Amino acid sequence: MRESIAEQLREEEDVEINLTPMLDVVFIMLIFFIVTAVFVKNPGVEINRPEAVTAFVPDKGSIFIAVTAANEIWADNRNVGPDGIKAAIERLHTENPEGGVVIMADSAAANEFVLNVMDAARAAGITNVTIAASVL
C-alpha cells in the first residue's frame, strides 16, 4: 500500500545518527593525551653545544638554562640576563622542585656567564647542576 508523502517525510525526519558516543570517545582520548604529555620547558634559543664522549641525555624534569654565543642568558623562552637568572631559576624550581639545572652553554660563550648561572643555581638551593653537551 502506498504511504502518503507526509508519512514518508516524517519517517525521514526520525532517522538520525547519534554522535554522543563518538564525542565521548574523542574527549576521553583528548584527556588521555593531555595527561600523558610530557611538558619540557626549553630555554627558547638554539645553542651550538660542544661535543663530549661522556655526554648523556638529561631527564625531562630538568630546568634548562641557555647561554648563547653572544653571552645572553635565556630561561623559559625569555632573555633574563645575569641579574635576573637567580629569580628565574627560583621560579622554575618552585614549579619543578625535583628537577636539577641543565646549563646549555654555546661553545663560544664566555666562561664567566656560565659560572654566573652555576652560582645562581647554587644560591637558589639547587645542588644538581650539569652542563649540556652533544653526544659524539
Check: pTM over 0.85? Answer yes or no. no
Question: What pLDDT was estimated at residue 100?
Answer: 87
Span 3-25, mean pLDDT? 72
Cα angle 119-86-107, degrees, rounded to a multiple of 5:
60
Q: Nearest CA to 57 among 40, 33, 77, 78?
A: 40
Residue-wise pLDDT for 27-71, tens only, equals 999 888 877 765 656 666 777 777 777 766 666 668 889 999 899
Position 17 pLDDT exceeds 70: yes
Residue 132 contacts residue 102 (beta carbons within 8 Å): yes
Determine the angle formed by the axes of helices 81-95 and 111-123, rounding to 10 degrees. Answer: 40
| DSSP for 41-67, written as a single string | ---SS---PPEETT--PPPTTPEEEEE
Higher pLDDT, 88 or 43: 88
Nearest to 66 by CA among 87, 86, 80, 84: 80
In 3D space, the residue among 78, 68, 59 whose CA is nearest the CA of residue 89 turns out to be 78
